[in-house]
A = this chain, B = another copy of it.
Amino acid sequence: MNTWGNRLRISLWGESHGAQVGVVIDGVPAGVPLAESDLEEDLARRRAGSAGTTPRKESDAPHIVSGVYEGHTTGAPIAVEFVNENTRSGDYRNLTTHPRPSHADMVAQRKFGGFNDPRGGGHFSGRITLALVAAGAIAKKILGEDVRFFTEITEIGGSNDKARFGEIIERARMAQDSVGGVVECRVEGVPMGWGEPFFDSVESLAAHLLFSVPAVKGVEFGSGFEAARMTGSEHNDPILDAAGRTDGNHAGGIVGGISNGNAIVVRAAVKPTASISRGQQTYNFETGRVDELVIKGRHDVCIALRAAVVVEAAMAVALADLKLRA
């Protein structure tokens, strides 16, 4: 389904090689200053160009086509569109008969009776995350200046040594391969009290959005999986004062599904890009047996690099919805 949200509602559309990718956001309070330039910082963080990412060049210029008047949000739905400029076709001819491993090619063909747009992954392309980043930038406006995001890649290819990241990525590229990574997003300034349990806890809404992002295979809050290895006396965060500040933050800022005023900490595991250029042995419908598939086209070596701002956007959207519901 292409919509998400209770008070802040987002709906998206678009394919990698279609005319555009877009999103409409409703529930944004009226009177918030908003211009296309407000989206530029986060879009730039996502844009292709840095080492290890895809060489596909798009300007990714956002066009706000509704919901803004004389520089402020009107309270009406805000639609943002991105024209797809660089749709080099011809790189994806064999997807229908020789589906790529760990891609949506085969499942999409099955689910949509062969009518899905196969070009560039169609609606399954990472390009759709443009819409999520745009929504995130607008969500941050709702959250205001006091809510601050700090997002970074904490792991690439199993290493947490940032000095080695570039080398690990280059090595993978030379090997015609790809590497995964872990993104950590830390949000400060969220007051105590956001979250709508039972089902719409902070973790639930954040995870719902995070797992929508292509390539995310794990999400954890606070100590996450490490908490499973602790004792209660180690993991508990004693409360230090009447404001709820804790000694330690294994909870990642969330208890009982509700924010407790301490920094919200989330980590997303991003798998290595499935589209690698080295040959893969995988079933070929045309020949009826396992054959070598060589994927052409342009692909990230480490999509975790671009996923960072997408993770942040997902957190922003979830928190903005919860702020409006608090």
Residue positions of A touching B, CB distance < 8 A: 1-4, 6-7, 9, 11-15, 18-22, 24, 26-27, 30-31, 63, 65-67, 69, 72-79, 81, 99, 101-104, 106-108, 110-117, 119, 122-124, 128, 155, 157-158, 172, 175, 177-182, 192-193, 195-201, 203-205, 207-212, 214, 216-225, 227-242, 244, 246, 250-252, 255-260, 269-276, 278, 280-283, 285, 288, 290, 304, 325-326
Contact = CB atoms under 8 A, between A and B. Distances in A.
A3 to B, nearest CB: 5
A111 B241 CA distance: 17
Copies of this chain in its oligomeric complex: 4
Contacts of A276: 232-233, 236
A113 B208 CA distance: 28
Contacts of A225: 182, 217-218, 220, 225, 269
B220 A218 contact: yes
B228 A199 contact: no
Contacts of A1: 6, 9, 26-27, 196, 198-200
Contact of A117 (B26, B76, B288): B76
A217 B211 contact: no
A235 B102 CA distance: 8
Given A6-B1, A233-B177, A155 B199 contact: no
A208 B204 contact: yes
Contact of A157 (B13, B101, B229, B290): B229
Contact of A20 (B66, B203, B230): B66
